[in-house]
Amino acid sequence: MQPIQAYGYFLTEANKPLERREFTIDSVNDDQVVVQVAGCGLCHTDISFLSGQVQTKHAFPLVLGHEISGKVVAAGSGYVALNGKNVVIPAVLPCGQCELCKSGRDNICQHQQMPGNDFNGGFASHIVVPGRSLCVLPENLNGFGLAQLSVVADAITTPYQSLKRSGLKSGELAIVIGAGGIGIYMVQHAKNAGAKVIALDIDADKLAVAKEQGADYTLCVKGLDEREIKKQIRGLVKENHLPEFSWKVFETSGSGAGQQTAFSLMTFAGTVGIIGFTMEKLQVRLSNIMAFDADVFGNWGCSPSHYPAVVKGVLDGTIKLRENAETFPLDSINEIIGRSLNHQLKKRAIFAP
């Protein structure tokens, strides 16, 4: 292959601005491809890596970013057919060979690789990734820019897998805690599945967006303790003749308070899904799971097998994406990260080289 001159924004030390550096890609392994990055979304996980709250697997310096879309511009001998294809790179790249992969749990493959964690990620002009499991996009993107589709790689697919894992059925009640970057898509997926949806958040503006995008009911929980929240939820259920049991509760806020609320909303034959991540520890009574004959699950990423269904939903408008994302030049990354840390972004940031 011809050498490719590239650049990326490297994290060299926690709590420091990212540093732009040039690099050259002059070869790939047989099982790898080079993707020219069209867009890379900014995720809460990236912020956790930046702050040092969560450690990356790869040592610094490291290019972060795991919500990536782009075009394959070079390929090893095993993936020549991908040359020229537009793709979304799954945030979790499984090996496909291990016990977990073969049992259908490839999203938690222990040999998985994650861009921006195990190797240099998508805050760059180009990225070298395994060719396996890439989601090849249709030629007709139905008016979407390729960069916009980057958020499929985590923000939209992770809650989609949670939907599938929960077994949510039409007519059931879904309670989504947190209406942010992940939660807004959890609301949409639950509504698209035919459920009645209650969205909870401490931000009235986010709840207004959730209402526009599928939530039947919203509840601002700012200043409320879990008992009052549960009381108000039960009030909504009674007043609107919603299902009394088998609630599906999805925690997407990634906060201790959100997780505590999720556990408190467990009901008979109910299900609680933990999708957001926090380092906070909770004190809960696990016997509630037994007493309610309930289910609790966690969700790590999304199997690449679910990506085509999500892409189809985005392109046909069933899943609203444009309303929830905004594209910025990659060279503005430090400024935009600062705005994110100050809670000044209303939409998910996508960086385009």
Give 156 or 44, the one with higher predicted confidence: 156
Mean pLDDT of 161-183: 97
- CB neighbour list of residue 172: distance below 8 Å, 6 or more residues apart: 195, 196, 243, 246, 247, 248
What's 78's DSSP letter? G
What local confidence, expressed as pLDDT, does residue 40 receive? 98
Alpha helices in the chain (DSSP H): 44-51, 99-102, 157-166, 183-192, 204-212, 226-239, 256-264, 287-291, 307-315, 333-341
Answer whether 4-154+303-352 and 157-298 agree in fold.
no
**152: number of Cβ within 10 Å:** 29
What local confidence, expressed as pLDDT, does residue 159 receive? 98
pLDDT in tens, 45-96: 999 999 998 999 999 999 999 999 999 999 999 999 999 999 999 999 999 9
What local confidence, expressed as pLDDT, does residue 279 receive? 87
Task: Please give the model's pTM, rounded to 2 decimal places.
Answer: 0.96
Q: How far apart are CA 29 and CA 337, in angstroms?
A: 33
What local confidence, expressed as pLDDT, does residue 296 receive? 98
The verdict on domain 4-154+303-352 having CATH code 3.20.20.70 is no
Q: Strand pairing of 4-11 and 62-63? A: antiparallel
* Residue 273 φ/ψ, nearest 5 degrees: -110, 130
Show me where the domains of the chain are located.
4-154+303-352, 157-298
Q: How far apart are CA 226 and CA 223, in angstroms?
A: 10
- Res. 161 pLDDT band, cuts 50 70 90: very high
What local confidence, expressed as pLDDT, does residue 167 receive? 97
Residue 185, classed as helix, strand or coil, is: helix
Mean pLDDT of 146-171: 98
pLDDT in tens, 272-300: 999 999 889 999 999 999 999 999 999 99
The second-level CATH assignment, the architecture, of 157-298 is 3-Layer(aba) Sandwich (3.40)
